[in-house]
Structure 1
């Protein structure tokens, strides 16, 4: 589990740290606040290419649960009334009530 703060620039920082690709457009503040995602990976251990162990008791019930899904959808379709499309279909209109102007600029 990782408790670092990441944002959209963390992927760039990961590429920078892992592969040496410079990312000059990141500020010092952003570098100090967000992580570079290297803490989420363990590069010291090679990846395990073996097939995952899927013989778990909870997974044996999955085929039975899949059979229930169509029945549930059919039941909901019978219980839920269809959406009534309003007629005639019109675009919403802008309100025309008077309003105060919003101050803008240095004034």
Structure 2
């Protein structure tokens, strides 16, 4: 996952920023002024989700690798990872397994 183009990471960051705005708008007190059903992005339940889940896991792992490249996991990094997990419709255990795998890989590459 280390060879993921920076443009892909930039696009994922854009998706996360857009999703944050949609979340804010969905909680707006006068939300009925906006389009019905306005809310956070989710690919869960998409008719092709089962076919896409493999690709989504690869993208999640690549983004996780970028975010955790320094070998540290904290709340500031976990928030966007959880948000992306929700967007992709991944299960909590699936995402945790990916994060643990990435952390293990990153730590094995850091000199002792």
TM-score (structure 2 length as normaliser) = 0.24
Task: Give the number of the structure with larger relative contact order, counting CA–CA contacts within 8 Å between residues 6 or more apart.
Answer: 2
Greater helix share, structure number: 2
